[in-house]
């Protein structure tokens, strides 16, 4: 995401869509960072997760490397990413640790291979509220055809 702070104009390479209920993202197969996807595009996503800040007996991976997406019948795994933003959005009471922080994590996909792009495109077409435009665009426009 490129943001022009003076004018407040947001410029993204890819249009983002609101994810349907039941769409989840998880960091690495062994991570405890998992939560519902709030919005997604071919370039990245945002999701919420609960940070208990409690028991660290299960070590988190030192470096986040991949993310997996899932919803009933759809799965895209091992997508490389970089974290763009991570912020606390609320704190909720907990019986175990007193309170838990709900965070919003925004990530940008990096180095997608061809199969991951196909899988991600399929995931988007079936797991967002707003329908995606046709891809590739229809070539019914006769004006753009070469002369015969």
Q: What is the pLDDT of residue 11?
A: 56
Give the 3-state secondary structure of residue 71. strand
Q: Cα(73)–Cα(21) distance, rounded to whole angstroms?
A: 13
Q: Cα(26)–Cα(36) distance, rounded to whole angstroms?
A: 9
Q: What is the pLDDT of residue 92?
A: 65
Q: Cα(8)–Cα(87) distance, rounded to whole angstroms?
A: 20
Low-confidence ranges of the chain (pLDDT < 50): 1-6, 8, 55-62, 131-132, 134-148
Geometric angle at alpha carbon 24, from 19 and 29, rounded to 5°: 150
Q: What is the pLDDT of residue 64?
A: 66
Q: What is the pLDDT of residue 90?
A: 78
Q: How far is CA 78 from CA 22, 115, 128, in A?
A: 19, 11, 20
């Amino acid at each position: 995401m490129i943001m022009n702070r003076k004018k407040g104009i947001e410029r993204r390479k890819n249009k983002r869509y609101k994810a349907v209920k039941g769409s989840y993202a998880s960091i690495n197969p062994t991570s405890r960072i998992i939560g519902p996807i709030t919005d997604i595009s071919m370039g990245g996503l945002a999701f919420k997760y609960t940070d208990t800040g409690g028991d660290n007996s299960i070590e988190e991976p030192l470096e986040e490397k991949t993310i997996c997406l899932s919803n009933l019948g759809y799965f895209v795994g091992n997508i490389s990413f970089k974290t763009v933003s991570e912020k606390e959005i609320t704190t909720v009471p907990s019986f175990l640790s007193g309170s838990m922080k709900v965070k919003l994590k925004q990530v940008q996909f990096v180095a997608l291979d061809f199969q991951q792009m196909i899988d991600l495109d399929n995931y988007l077409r079936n797991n967002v509220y707003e329908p995606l435009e046709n891809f590739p665009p229809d070539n019914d426009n006769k004006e753009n055809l070469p002369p015969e």
